[in-house]
Amino acid sequence: MSQKHGIRMPMLCCKSLHVSLFFDDTNNNELNDTSVMPPHPSNIARLYHACSPQNERANDRGFHSYYIPGVGTPFPEINTMDYYSSGLTFAVGGEDRINWGLIQICDALNYSITGDHLQNTVMRKAVEAMNTSNSSRKLEGTAGIFGAINSIPANQQATRKKYLEAINNQEPRTTEMVRLHEIEKLLKPLK
């Protein structure tokens, strides 16, 4: 309307994204649960399918949905190829699934800006790097980058310092810093 009158309006650079992450329950795996007769998908898997996953038109409009299988079940995207009892008993593998969910948010951002999804190999590598149970990584400190966020200026400075350490350090020291470092690497091309 303004262009008709010769007035140029600046383009808004905001876009709403709707990202749904569907974490299934322990021992539930949509792919395996629907490939048997009779199929018996969990309610989480049904909700996931109701949100138009893998729908390019929905993605173009900012709607993204991602399914994460329950712990103890196969999840090839994070190199878990079979059912395993420690996942069923002690939720082993839960951290990698949560990290995969965080990476899917990066994927939605990447798709929104570039029109391309992140490659599975790139996402898998990020999840592996974020795995804090890796015995070769020595994690120190427990404050965490997000634990200090509040309205006190001293804490804001401490948070900023931890953020800068996380993105500049070769070997981040806390779980949160490890995750933030990997997310920053994935989103760096979008700057």
Mean pLDDT value of segment 27-38 = 93
Reduced 3-state DSSP string for the chain: CCHHHCCCCCCCCCCCCEEEEEECCCCCCHHHHHCCCCCCCCHHHHHHHHCCCCCHHHHHCCEEEEEECCCCCCEHHHCECCCCHHHHHHCCCHHHHHHHHHHHHHHHHHHHHHCCCCCHHHHHHHHHHHCCCCCCCCCCCCCCCCCCCCCCHHHHHHHHHHHHHHHHCCCCCCHHHHHHHHHHHHHHHHC
190 and 110 together in one domain: no
User: What range defines the domain where residue 177 resides?
Assistant: 150-191
105 and 176 together in one domain: no
Q: Which of 16-30, 93-107, 174-188 has the lowest mean pLDDT?
A: 174-188
For residue 140, is it within any domain?
Answer: no
117 and 156 together in one domain: no
Per residue in 123-161, pLDDT tens? 999 999 998 775 333 333 323 333 434 445 566 677 667
75 and 108 together in one domain: yes
117 and 31 together in one domain: yes
48 and 122 together in one domain: yes
pLDDT at 15: 83
Per residue in 96-124, pLDDT tens? 999 999 999 999 999 999 999 999 999 99
Prediction pTM value: 0.72
Cα 4 to its chain centre, rounded Å, is 43
Beta carbons within 10 angstroms of residue 169's beta carbon: 12
113 and 28 together in one domain: yes
pLDDT at 153: 59
160 and 75 together in one domain: no
Coarse DSSP helix, strand, coil percentages of the chain, rounded to the nearest 5 percent:
50, 5, 45
For residue 169, is it within any domain?
Answer: yes
127 and 40 together in one domain: yes
Per residue in 7-23, pLDDT tens? 666 656 678 899 999 99
124 and 176 together in one domain: no
Q: How many structural domains are present in the chain?
A: 2
